[in-house]
Amino acid sequence: MGADEAGLRHILRLARACVHRGQAHQAFGHLDSIESEIEGRAGTSLWAEHLLTYAGALGAMKDSAVAAERAFNDALERISMLEEPDPTLEMLGHEDNGKYLAERRAFMRARNHYGLAERIAERLDQIEDVARIQLCVIRIDLDERKDPRLKAFQRMKEAAKDGYTHLEQREGWIHYTDTFQKYGTQLISTRKGDEASVEYFRGVLSLIRRRRSEVVK
């Protein structure tokens, strides 16, 4: 990777980080600063990723739904037209689009994009990406059904900020749902709901990490 390309990728990472923080205007600033250079790289991954990040920035703005959707579609088309296929970027494109659609509560279309992203991750044998995408689908399923366990899921995600992987989170959620199904509301009411607290999930995730490390040994 040349110095110029490395610099452009760094700017794209900064813009993407702004999108994740909901700082759309800052993201646009980063993207605008390299737009002229990107235009000279048509057909490359940088060219497609620039538009994908731009679509994400539009999606972070509440009044840009039509423009954001069009930009996501155009970005996915660019990705499909790359001179050298980039399956990782294609996976990211579908995942980003799925996230945007889920936020717009277009759950069926979001699942379709997440499904495409998951299949690419499986094909690439990227198990951490597979787990991350599956957690996204679990989240929208709970949201769509207005499942009372959504609050527990949110608490698990809060606990996971301590540095737990998506694989560990997925296993933690499975542990919780198995416990919930086995003991139901009786267990939760008996202990005043502590099982679904952030501290509860910190304990579960810590236990899972210890078990995984013991298996590796």
- pTM passes above 0.75: yes
CA–CA gap between residue 12 and residue 183 (Å, rounded): 47
Nearest to 153 by CA among 98, 201, 203, 206: 201
- One DSSP character per residue, 58-94 reads HHTSTT-HHHHHHHHHHHHHHHHT-SS--HHHHHHHH
Sign of CA dihedral 121, 123, 124, 126: positive
Per-residue pLDDT 10s for the chain (217 aa) are: 555 889 999 999 999 999 999 899 999 999 999 999 999 999 999 999 999 999 999 998 877 788 999 999 999 999 999 989 999 999 999 999 999 999 999 999 999 999 999 999 999 999 999 999 999 999 999 999 999 899 999 999 999 999 999 999 999 999 999 887 766 555 544 444 445 789 999 999 999 999 878 766 6
Cβ 53 vs Cβ 16: under 8 Å: yes
194: which DSSP letter? Answer: G
The secondary structure element, H or E, covering residue 193 is: none
